[in-house]
Amino acid sequence: AEDTGLRVELAEDDDCSNSSLGLRLWVEDPKKLKGKHKDNEAIEFSFNLETDTPEEVAYEMVKSGFFHESDSKAVAKSIRDRVTLIKKTREKKPAGC
């Protein structure tokens, strides 16, 4: 996946049954971001696989002042990449992970 300079990881173990995930995002390579942002800060948030979209969460992060508008695409992409990976992992291990 193209590196956005952002890192998204599960904030807690994925029990594979809950559609709501706890994710954590932080800036790994500040040079790759265009706008101002806070270094060394991780943002933990919940993401519902059925109702949420990466773009929506990225928009909310911009609105909350975590990132500049110009970086919302990178934020959405990094969330999307991680969520896609989690969905694939869940498909491989359907029975309670």
Nearest residue to 29 via CA among 40, 17, 18:
40
Per the CB < 8 A criterion, the answer to whether 23 and 10 are in contact is: yes
Nearer to other proteins, 25 or 86 (CB): 25
Element (H, E) at 73: helix 72-92
CA–CA separation, 7 and 49 (whole Å): 19
Tokens (6 digits) for 40: 């060394």
Closest approach of other proteins to the CB of residue 15, in Å = 20
Region binding other proteins by CB under 8 A among candidate stretches 12-20, 63-71, 72-80, 88-96: 63-71
Q: Does 3 bind other proteins (CB under 8 A)?
A: no
Among 64, 70, 84, 89, binds other proteins (CB under 8 A): 64
Residues that bind other proteins (CB under 8 A): 7, 26, 28, 38, 40-46, 57, 60-61, 63-64, 66
